[in-house]
Amino acid sequence: MFTSNWWEAVKLFQNLRHNLKAVYARTYVRVRSQFREPEWVLTESVIPLLIVFAAATLYRVSGSEQLAGFAVLGGAMMAFWDNVLWLMASQFYWEKESGNLDLYIIAPVSKMSILLGMSLGSIINTSIRALLIFLLAAFVLRVPVNIADPLAVFLVFTLTLTALYGLGMLMSSLYMLYGRGAYQLNDILSEPIYLLSGLYFPTIGRYSPFPAIVQFLVSLIPLTFGIDGLRRTIILGQGVEQIMLHIYVLLALTVALIPLAWRVLIFMENLGRREGRLSLRWM
């Protein structure tokens, strides 16, 4: 009994190490690729920056100094949202086109590790862009930063990313299953989601112009509570106690989305093996 348990434990550990290697390798590929073409970081930061400048200036002219600061944070987070919506979601599509997807499937490693690696790589790449947007905008617009509790900032930021990329991982499989339809939906929904999630102005809490029911619905978008939490901790100087709700919501989204992404990924792999195609519908 003892030896068999011990053996199980060793195997589990080896398996975990093997999967962590795959996560690391996939992360490396993504980060390395970006640094081979660093000019992308700049070009892809231009549009969010312009939007931030426009929005912040507008708020400032209308006399709201804090809202200007909110817009800057929104702009930085827009980089993550764009990345999830466009890059993460269509990733498997490109992997399939090149033949990588088949190679991932036949590799003796969890497909979830590949997806995690893609996400981690994306997070690292996009963080650089988001930081650039934030620093530039905050500097040029002289946004008053007021961080009272760095731990709170760290918690909110990390949980926002885990929830956001949980959604990204889910979308990458849904994208394969629904093909072009998903792409069009993405296109149609991206602007409303910018607005509803609070990239431009707060959509939950006391500054929100929306009724409670809309506020509840928009809070299901991981970005919404994330941005609000970051505003509170970075601009309004709030601490962990004041953002407990944010932490709970983001944690709940993370815990729901990542296992769901895992399930859908397994579903996709099985569908491919059974039907010989990855899409549920014929376009």
Partner 1 sequence: MGLAAETVNLGRVFRNRGSVVQALENVNLRIETGQIYGLLGPNGAGKTTLVKILTTLLLPTTGEAYVYGYNVAKEASKIRPLINLVSGADTPGYGLITVRENLWFYSMLYGLDKETARERINRLIEEVGLKDVENELLRNLSTGYRQRMNLARGLVNEPSVLFLDEPTIGLDAVSARKIRKLIKDWVKGDSGRTVILTSHYMAEVEEMCARVAVLNKGRVVAEGTPAELRSLVAGKTVAVMEVWLPTDADRVLDMLEAAYKTHDPATNIYRIRVVVNNWDETANIVEHITSRGGKVLSLVKAMPSFEDVYVKLVGGGEVVSEFEA
Exactly one of 3, 37, 206, 241 binds partner 1 (CB under 8 A); that residue is: 37
Of residues 179 and 239, the one with the C-beta less far from partner 1: 179
- Considering beta carbons, is residue 83 or 224 the nearer one to partner 1? 83
What SS3 class is residue 90? helix
Q: How far is it, in rounded angstroms, from Cα 153 to Cα 261?
A: 26
Q: Which of residues 50-69 bind partner 1 (CB under 8 A)?
A: none
Q: How far is the CB of 162 from ligand ADP (least distance, A)?
A: 35
Distance CA 258, CA 87 (A): 17
> 126-155 in b/e burial notation, b at 16+ Cβ within 10 A?
bbbbbebbbebbbeebebeeeeebeebbeb
Taking the least distance from each CB to ligand ADP, the nearer of 108 and 276 is 276
Residue 118 Cβ vs partner 1, minimum distance, rounded to whole Å: 12
Which of partner 1, ligand ADP, none lies near 22, with the C-beta cut-off 5 to 8 A by kind? partner 1
Query: Nearest to residue 248, comparing CAs of 165, 169, 161, 155?
Result: 155
Q: Based on the shown chain and the rule CB under 6 A, indicate whether residue 276 belongs to the binding site for ligand ADP.
A: yes
Nearer to ligand ADP, 18 or 277 (CB): 277
Nearer to ligand ADP, 8 or 275 (CB): 275
Cβ distance 132 to 190 under 8 Å? no
Q: Does 99 bind ligand ADP (CB under 6 A)?
A: no
Is residue 133 within 8 Å of 219, Cβ to Cβ?
no
Nearer to partner 1, 24 or 207 (CB): 24
The nearest distance, CB 276 to partner 1, in angstroms, is 5
**Binds ligand ADP (CB under 6 A): choice among 17, 263, 277, 281:** 277
Least distance from ligand ADP to the Cβ atom of residue 151, Å: 52
Most distant CA atoms of the chain, gap in Å? 74
Whether the CB-CB separation of 231 and 202 falls below 8 Å is answered with yes
Question: What is the end-to-end Cα distance of the chain in Å, rounded?
Answer: 55
Exposed / middle / buried, residue 89 (Cβ in 10 Å: 0-12, 13-18, 19+): buried
Interacting partner of 177 out of partner 1, ligand ADP, none (Cβ under 5 to 8 A depending on kind): none
The residue type at 253: L
Binding string, residues 8-27; x marks residues near partner 1 by CB under 8 A: ------x--xx--xx-xxx-
Is residue 106 a contact residue for partner 1 (CB under 8 A)? yes
Catalog residues that contact ligand ADP under the rule CB under 6 A: 276-277
